[in-house]
Structure 1
Amino acid sequence: MQRDLRPFSAADSEWLVERHGTLYHRDEGFDESFPILVRGIIDDFLTHRDPSCESGWIAWCGANRLGSIFCVREAAATPQIAKLRLFLVDPEARGTGLAQHLLDTCLGFAKGAGYRQMRLWTHESHRAAGRIYGRNGFALVTARPTHSFGQDVVEQIWQRDL
């Protein structure tokens, strides 16, 4: 599968919100609060992004978007820690190596931007994502049951040194 990673732009916003909302509703039963969260993450990125240390990419095949990944600063108080956000691979592109390509791009950017560590937040039910994180040096550091997006879930924090 020929794929191209392009920098995220505001024109990708609606697709990104729609795909997250649709896929997470279908696969996880998440309610309408999840795409609202995604919209907030995107709006914050578009408004406050520091291009020297924050970026996002959209994977394309021809005229079709197939996935996304973002690297952002975790917080002003911890400028050496990057946060991986909005990592998504469309079902038609799963198993093609696209997830690894997106993750390699994000990790390479984070290292080049001077981050020393990367963290991410996900849910235990995303087992395929957990496997790719583990293969790439991330360790599960926190897991806690909670109720989010209309579902009982186990939130996870993964991290790795860069």
Structure 2
Amino acid sequence: MASVATTGVSSYVLRQHRPGDLGWIVHRHGILYNQEYGWTERFEGLVARVASDFIEHYDPKCERCWVAERDGSFIGCVLLVKDRDSDLNGAKLRLLLVEPSARGLGLGRNLIQQCTSFAHEVGYSRIRLWTNSGLTSARRLYQKEGYKLMKSEEEETLGMKSVTTVVQATQRITSPTMSPSVCPVKPTSPAIVTTSACPAPSLEVWATPYSFDSGMVHYIQFDTETDLGHGFIGPDEIGGSEGEESGPFSTLCDAQLKWLEKDLSSVDRNKTPWIIAAGHRPWYISAKNESGTVCEDCRKVFEPIFLKHGVDLVLSGRTHLYERNAPIRTFNADPNPNGLNNPSAPWYITNGAAGHYDGLDSLS
């Protein structure tokens, strides 16, 4: 997709990157920063590493490289990537460049605003970037767009002594909270989650996953219909198998998986030694009709994290029968030599029989 920006001089096009663009970006950074600031090939090597990392780890749902063109010629670029050095749901703005022939068109500001807009759309909580004391024009642009200085330090990574500054924008970017919702339900009261009694984690309008403690059990309700994560399309989403065109609902990349990881990591097994997770669709089932469709994408998304954190029991419905499997690990029976004494994989129970007007499903 591309957008056209019209100025008093001419128009330019902003588009996403194509094969060959990242090599050109490295090339132009190396030449321009040497000509204008005297930076050596060490800086070009740094840019090459950033570009290589972007290509290797590129996530189209959460990351972008914009290239600006005028009359078919490259005039600028910028990258927005995940901040993989932080667990605070942040992004990094990288490799902002405006060719001398395009300066004064407002292109630099437009590129920064593209990053801000996309970060808001995806759900990042902040954007960080690194700049240099000598890049006065760029620093003014960042300041106008709401970035604030975090720290400065002198270093020689560019082949010469210089002051590198880290700036961050947080004011204009908001995101859902990602804290787990643990509701201490009394053993004598129904374990029913309501907005007032036990708020679910706030994921904007999408708040279906939640967790609570009852007695010695930590319960998790997860969503198999939308927002699976890892780029998978949920059954109810636009393009999904159900044709519901409902969702995804969270604008945060991998929101449910991040929430699950944080929730499961926080469980105190001394207080709640048992973990039970429940979701609508099963991924180990024997029914042969349409309601027994195996959710293989659900398995790919959720099984690894349940195995990692030792979930004891996974409950599901949808299929109109009762089926109980032995502990399973990636299609195979749990190899634990102790058998059912503290198995290393979850039990899977499907119970979708209650109240189905057509009766029970057949087994294949």
Is TM more than 0.5 here?
Answer: yes
Alignment-derived partner of residue 136 in structure 2:
127
The question of whether the paired residues in 1 share the 8 Å contact of 2:93 and 2:127 is answered with: yes
Residue 74 of structure 1 deviates from its aligned partner by 0.8
Deviations 1:79-118 (A, max 9, x none): 5111000100001111111111111111101111110101
In the alignment, structure 1 segments of 5+ residues that lack a partner are none
Alignment-derived partner of residue 294 in structure 2:
none
Residue 140 of structure 1 deviates from its aligned partner by 0.9
Query: Letter of the aligned partner of 1:131 in structure 2?
Result: R
1:118 aligns with 2:111: no
Select 1:69's aligned residue among 78, 87, 92. 78
Q: Which has the higher strand share?
A: 1
Question: What secondary structure does 1:52 align onto?
Answer: coil
Query: Letter of the aligned partner of 1:59 in structure 2?
Result: A
Quote the Cα distance in structure 1 between the aligned partners of 2:36 and 2:113: 25
**Matches for 1:118-157 after TM superposition, within 5 Å:** 118-157=127-166
Cα 1:103–1:37 change in 2 (3 A) is same
The question of whether the paired residues in 1 share the 8 Å contact of 2:30 and 2:44 is answered with: yes
Select 2:52's aligned residue among 26, 38, 43. 43
Alignment-derived partner of residue 14 in structure 2:
5
Percentage identity across paired residues of the two chains = 35
**Matches for 1:79-90 after TM superposition, within 5 Å:** 80-90=89-99
Alignment-derived partner of residue 111 in structure 2:
102
Question: What secondary structure does 1:155 align onto?
Answer: strand
Residue 13 of structure 1 deviates from its aligned partner by 2.0
Query: Letter of the aligned partner of 1:80 in structure 2?
Result: N
The question of whether the paired residues in 2 share the 8 Å contact of 1:10 and 1:46 is answered with: no
Deviations 1:25-84 (A, max 9, x none): 111111111111111111111111111111110000011000001100111642511100
Question: What secondary structure does 2:89 align onto?
Answer: strand
Quote the Cα distance in structure 2 between the aligned partners of 1:69 and 1:83: 11
Question: What secondary structure does 2:110 align onto?
Answer: helix
Residue 10 of structure 1 deviates from its aligned partner by 2.6
Question: What secondary structure does 1:95 align onto?
Answer: coil
The question of whether the paired residues in 2 share the 8 Å contact of 1:73 and 1:79 is answered with: no
1:60 aligns with 2:69: yes
Question: What secondary structure does 1:148 align onto?
Answer: coil
Higher relative contact order (CA 8 A, sep 6+): 1
TM-score (norm 2): 0.43
Quote the Cα distance in structure 2 between the aligned partners of 1:70 and 1:141: 20
Q: Which has the higher helix share?
A: 1
Report the aligned-residue RMSD.
Answer: 1.1
In the alignment, structure 2 segments of 5+ residues that lack a partner are 1-9, 174-364
Question: What secondary structure does 2:11 align onto?
Answer: coil
Number of aligned residue pairs: give it.
162
Residue 132 of structure 1 deviates from its aligned partner by 0.5
